[in-house]
Structure 1
Amino acid sequence: MKLSRPARITLRVAAVLGFAVIYVPLLLVLVNSLNPDRSSSWPPPGVTFHWWADAWGSAGARHALVTSLKAGAGATGAALVLGTLVAFAVQRFRFFGREALSFAIVLPIALPGIVTGVALNTAFRTVLEPLGVGLGLFTVVVGHATFCVVVVYNNVIARLRRMPGSFEEAAMDLGANTFRAFTDVTFPLVRSALVAGGLLAFALSFDEIIVTTFTAGPDTQTLPIWIFSNMARPQQAPVVSVVAAVLVLLSVVPIYLAQRMSSDTASGSRI
């Protein structure tokens, strides 16, 4: 389809404006983290890494980072197991309620985060607290896994739908049992989808704040919650900018790798 010159210019201007709205605020966060002025004056009078050193020396920020990494790893592990099993069940078998199960798996990602958070908080206080299990890292992992499982499920089932079943049938015709066919044929073909889904799930968990607010205990503070709780403190503003910049950078890496692994080129080279 050929577009007229005014249409091409309009689309380019709209694209530039759209990207500016998304990425200029993120760039400002990085600039403010290097601003020597504590009040984040504009334009910055210079460049300093003093606030980065202060952020590294902040015990609260370091503890929050470790908590976020633990929560992300736990939620990603649970999502990989559950999402993969459900994807294989839905794609490879026909049973009553198959479509309902698929809908139930995907639904949490579409629900407002505050609704999910309130529901989980109520469930945890009703079911777990009488058993002596309070809000903490475990409940955060469970809360994050409810929506992380969706991205793993979508990645794996999309790969399975594009994967011909004749490969496994050929392996079994040659004498391979079910386990051998899976390890030698099926797993290598879905491996990139698993890695991409796991990376996306980790990134989704790492910067989650709404569900975390309702599922974390008083002693469980992730990095986004630490940023939110320190934003109102003027003395902490530069350090918050540094931590926010680190959070952006740490989120970009898994998303970029997942995009590379789930691209058509990467998928085609593995099938």
Structure 2
Amino acid sequence: MRFSSLSKNTLRALTALIMAAVYVPLALVIMNSFNAATSSSFPVQEFSTKWWVAAWNNQGVREALWTSVKVAFWATLIALILGSMVAFALSRYRFFGRNTVNLLVVLPIALPGIVTGVAFSNTFKNVFEPLSINLGLFSIIVGHATFCIVMVFNNVQARLGQMNRGLEEAAMDMGANVFRTFFQVTFPGFRAAFVAGALLAFALSFDEVVVTTFTAAPGTETLPIWIYNNMARPNQAPVVNVIAAVLILVSMIPVYLSQRLTGADQLERKAAKQRKAA
């Protein structure tokens, strides 16, 4: 399909407009985190790092940061284990209800966060609290793991579907046991997708706010919840800008690394196919 010059210029203008609408507000938040004034403004008259120092010295911020890291780490670990196992089961085996299981695994990422949050809140209050399991760090981790699993599952399943199973069969024919075949042949084949899924899961958990609101105990704050609770307080506005900037950067880095890993993996597979064809 070929486009006229007018169509190309129109598409470029629309693309630039959409990108500006998304990234200019983010840039303003980062810029105002270095604003020496106590209120956000543009253009910034004087730059300073004092609010970054104030944010680091804020005990509530540091506790919220540590809580976010712990939740994201454990949610990602659970997602890596369960997401990979389900991906293997659905990619390597055919059984009754396979498509239904696939749907149920990916459904949490499509559900509104408030629905997931309400469901977990009711479950913990009505089922687990009588068993002395209350809302807290564990409930947040479980809530986050439900949608983090989808990130790992999608990446690993897509890569497993492209792998040559003949390599595994050849390794086992040559005497390698199941574990040696997995760690020396299978895992290297989907390692990039595995790590990319982990990075996306960590980023998704780290900046999640809706599910956390319903699954956190009173007084338990992650960084997004800290922002939500303090953004209406005028004296905390500069520190809120700093924390928002941190969340932007922390979210961008895993996504960038995941994209790089996926791109490198695709280039490697393309080169392998070209070598095989030659």
Residue 162 (1) aligns with residue 168 (2): no
1:184 CA drift (Å)? 1.0
Alignment of 1:1-271 (within 5 A): 1-263=1-263, 265-269=264-268
1:268 Cα shift? Answer: 4.0
For residues 9 and 267 of structure 2, the distance between their equivalents in structure 1, rounded to whole angstroms, comes to 34
The CA deviation at 1:269 is: 2.3
Deviations 1:181-232 (A, max 9, x none): 1111001111111100000000000000000000000131000000010000
CA distance in 1, matches of 2:199, 2:159: 16
Contact 1:72 1:205 in 2 (8 A): yes
Q: CA RMSD in A?
A: 1.1
Contact in 2 for aligned 1:192/1:267 (Cα 8 Å): no
Alignment check: 8 A CA contact 1:136 1:219 kept: no
Q: Deviations over 1:124-161 (max 9, x none)?
A: 11121111111111100000000000010000000000
Which stretch shifts more, 213-222 or 139-148?
Answer: 213-222
- CA offsets per residue over residues 8-57 of structure 1, 9 Å max, x none? 11011011001001100000001111111112233222111111111111
Q: What is the CA–CA distance in structure 2 between the aligned matches of 1:52 and 1:124, rounded to whole Å?
A: 37
Distance, in Å, in 1 between the alignment partners of 2:192 and 2:106 is 21
CA distance in 2 between counterparts of 1:266 and 1:105 reads 25
Partner amino acid for 2:236? Q
* Identity level (%): 57
Whether the aligned pair in 2 keeps the contact of 1:35 and 1:44 (CA below 8 Å) is yes
Q: Distance in 2 between matches of 1:13 and 1:259?
A: 25
Read off the aligned partner of 2:212 and give its amino acid letter.
T
Cα separation, 2, equivalents of 1:98 and 1:212 = 31
What is the alpha-carbon distance in structure 2 between the residues aligned to residue 198 and residue 124 of structure 1? 27
Ranges in structure 2 where 5+ consecutive residues have no aligned partner: 273-278
Alpha-carbon separation, structure 2, partners of 1:15 and 1:108: 30
Count of aligned residue pairs for this structure pair? 270
Q: Which residue of 1 aligns with 2:275?
A: none
Q: Structure 2 counterpart of 1:16, which letter?
A: A
CA distance in 2, matches of 1:219, 1:234: 21
**Structure 1: 5+ residue runs without aligned partners?**
none
User: How does the TM-score come out when normalised to structure 1?
Assistant: 0.97
Post-superposition, which runs of at least 4 consecutive aligned residues in structure 1 deviate over 3 A?
none
